[in-house]
Structures are given as structure tokens and as C-alpha cells.
Amino acid sequence: MTYSNKVLDHYENPRNVGSFDKDDDSVGTGMVGAPACGDVMKLQIKVNADGMIEDARFKTYGCGSAIASSSLVTEWVKGKSLDEALQIKNSEIAEELALPPVKIHCSILAEDAIKAAIDDYQKRQENKNKA
Ligand code: FES
Ligand code: FES
């Protein structure tokens, strides 16, 4: 199988690789696995006082398409509100990267990871307000 140029670009020059401190209250962490292949993706967002995502990081133990999908999503979420980031669809990721059908689940992983990160951030805020 050949990868598209955009996949190769993100695979060879992944954006925003790394981690934030997951105990930081401004950080949300999403960790998801793909049952189809066993690959794992960790995606983190950092949210500012206005509720906008100001930065994002990822670590993906997976195929080139999964790495490219997570790299792309970290770029897309920056500057978005949480609601806007929740609108990101795996089909948009797959289209942007020209993923073939067998690699669609890799983009689903990225959509799930950003949703999980937002969920974690929101739970964290609720717990903070209870404390
Ligand atoms: Fe690894 Fe699919 S087999 S990402
Ligand atoms: Fe499974 Fe890419 S995440 S093949």
C-alpha cells in the first residue's frame, strides 16, 4: 500500500509530538486503542481561561496513518473552542489525508482521542469545582 503525500508529510514531520502534565487542571488527556489492530493513541489538549484550546500534543504507537491523523488533529484543534473541536469528524481527517478504506479506522482513532481528551478536561473542571 502506498501512502498519500500528506500522510508521508505528517509521518515524517509529525507536529506536536510529546506530552503535557496530565495532572495539570488546564489539560485534558484522551487515550484510545484500536481494537482492529491494537494501536494506541494518546492525545492531549491544553485549554486557556477563555475555554479555547491553545495547544495540543500526541503520542501514537501505531501505523503511519494513525500518526498522520493524530498529527493533523493536533493542528486542527488549536484555536478552537471545545464545542468546535467536538465537531471534527473522522471523515474530514480521512479526506484530508486521502486515506484508503482499510485505514479509515486510524482516523476514527483520532476523532475518538480528541473526544476523550475533551471529556477528560470537562470532568476535571467538574471535580475542581466540587473540591
Ligand atoms: Fe497498526 Fe493498523 S495495524 S495501525
Ligand atoms: Fe490501526 Fe492504523 S490505527 S492500522
Q: Domain for residue 117, yes or no? A: yes
Spatial distance between the Cα atoms of 90 and 78, rounded to a whole number of angstroms: 17
Q: Domain for residue 95, yes or no? A: yes
63 in active site: no
Q: Residue 1 pLDDT > 70, yes or no?
A: no
Number of domains in the chain: 1
Whose CA is closest to atom 2 on ligand 2? 106
Q: Domain for residue 17, yes or no? A: yes
Q: Domain for residue 131, yes or no? A: no
In terms of residue numbers, what domain contains 13?
Answer: 5-125
ipTM of the complex in this document: 0.71
Asked whether 14 and 67 are in contact (CB, 8 A), the reply is: yes
Any idea what the CATH number is for the domain that residue 58 is in? 3.90.1010.10
Return the sign of the alpha-carbon dihedral for residues 80, 78, 30, 121: negative
Q: Domain for residue 111, yes or no? A: yes
How much is the average pLDDT of 45-70? 96
pTM of the model: 0.92
From 32, 60, 63, mutation site for ligand 1 pocket: most ligand atoms within 8 A of C-beta? 63
From 39, 99, 104, 107, mutation site for ligand 1 pocket: most ligand atoms within 8 A of C-beta? 39
Q: Domain for residue 51, yes or no? A: yes
